Structure 1
Amino acid sequence: MVSKIRLEDRECPLSTALGYVGEWWTLLLLHDCFDGYRRFDQFQDNLKISTSILTSRLKTLVANGVLEKRPYQTNPVRHEYVLTDLGRSLRPVVVALAAWGNSRLDPADRSMILVNAETGEEAEPVLVDRATGRRVDGDDYVFAAGPAASPAFRDRYPDSAG
C-alpha cells in the first residue's frame, strides 16, 4: 500500500521527498543505518553530531515512518533504530547521491565506492525505467501532470509527452 502522507502542503513529489530526507544529517543517518548502525551512540560516534540534533533527527525519522524505535535494553531503557520498509526503500537514493558525488572527484580522491559484493568490481549506478531498461536521465523522459495535479501543475506539465 502506498502512503498518502504529505509532510508539507506542497504538491510537488520532490518537495515531499525532501520533507523526509532533505536535511544534511538525515541522509548521513540513513547511510549509517544502511551500514548496520542502530544505536544512538554509534551514530553520535561516527557522525560527530550533537546530541540535540541527533535526537531531533531520529525523532523525525521515527515519526515519519522511516525508522522504528525498539528497546534493546531494559535497565536502563535503551533503544535502537531500525529501518522500516519505507526507510529501506531510500537506499537507491543514498546510493545515487553517493555515486553522483564520486563522479565529481578524481578516482584517486574517492574515500568510498560502491562495489559488487561478490566480485569487488566497482559499480556505476544509473536510474532506469523498469519497463524498458532505458536510462531516464536524458531528454527523452520528461515530467508530466499526474491524476491529482492541480491546474497550476497541469499548466506547468503537460498530461503526456505526446
Structure 2
Amino acid sequence: MLGKTYESQQCSIARSLEVVGERWSLLLVRDALFAGATRYSDFQRSLGIATNVLKARLDGFVEAGIMWRHRYSEQPELYEYLLTDRGRALAPALVALAEWGDMWATGGDPPLLYTHSVCGTGVSQQTVCAGCGRVDDPTEIQATIRPCTPSEGMPQQA
C-alpha cells in the first residue's frame, strides 16, 4: 500500500497527490466545482461515500486550504464546505483528467460534458508553450530537474 507522503520525490505531481491523491478527493472537488455541492449531505448523497471517510476528506481539505468551513445554521449547528481559490484552481486539472478518461477509460460518448456557462461552448484543457503555442505531441515536453527542497511550493501540513 502506498504511503501518504512522497518525501523522496522532488516533484510537484507527488506533492499534489499528498493533498488530492486519495480516491475520493477529486470526486469531492468535482462535485463542489461542477455540481454546486457544498453540504456534507450533498457529497454523501452524490457519492455514497462512507461518512467517516467523507468527514476525513473534508477536514483534510479544510486543513490544506482547498475548502473552508462556513456555518450556515446555528440551531442546529450546520456547516457547508466551500472551495477556496486553491480548490477552484483544480478545475483545469479535472477537465484534463476528464478528457483523458473520455478518450481512454470510457466505452462510448463522454458521460459528462464540460461547457462554458457564459456561451455554452465546450471547454477543453490544452498544453501550451509560451513561445510556440499549443503542444499536441507530449513527447515534445521535457521535465528538467532543478535544485529544490521537497517542501518547496507546498505548505506543510500540521
Shorter-chain TM band: 0.7 to 0.9
Q: Which has the higher contact order (CA 8 A, sep 6+)?
A: 2
Amino acid at match of 1:115: T
State the match for 2:29 in structure 1: 30
State the match for 2:7 in structure 1: 9
Q: Is the partner of 1:43 in helix, strand or coil?
A: helix
Q: Which structure 2 residues correspond to residues 9-158 of structure 1 after superposition, within 5 A?
A: 9-10=7-8, 11-35=10-34, 36-104=36-104, 105-108=106-109, 110-135=110-135, 138-148=138-148
Amino acid at match of 1:91: A
Between the two proteins, the alignment pairs up a number of residues equal to 143
Report the TM-score, using the length of structure 2 for normalisation.
0.79
Question: 1: CA distance between counterparts of 2:122 and 2:115?
Answer: 4
Aligned-pair CA distance for 1:76? 1.4
Question: CA offsets, 1:64-115, max 9 Å, x none?
Answer: 110001100001111110111111111111111111101123543x221223
Amino acid at match of 1:140: E
Q: Is the partner of 1:79 in helix, strand or coil?
A: strand
Aligned-pair CA distance for 1:128? 1.7
Aligned-pair CA distance for 1:123? 3.8
Question: 1: CA distance between counterparts of 2:108 and 2:121?
Answer: 14
Root-mean-square deviation (Å): 2.2
Amino acid at match of 2:40: F
Aligned-pair CA distance for 1:126? 1.9
Amino acid at match of 1:89: A
Aligned-pair CA distance for 1:16? 0.2
Contact 2:126 2:134 (C-alpha < 8 Å) held by counterparts: no
Q: Is the partner of 1:80 in helix, strand or coil?
A: strand
Query: Structure 1: which 5+ residue stretches go unaligned?
Result: 1-6, 151-162
Question: CA offsets, 1:31-77, max 9 Å, x none?
Answer: 01102110000000111111101001001111111000110000111
Contact 2:66 2:84 (C-alpha < 8 Å) held by counterparts: yes
State the match for 1:155 in structure 2: none
Query: Structure 2: which 5+ residue stretches go unaligned?
Result: 151-158
Q: Percent of counterpart pairs with the same letter?
A: 31
Question: 2: CA distance between counterparts of 1:38 and 1:125?
Answer: 25
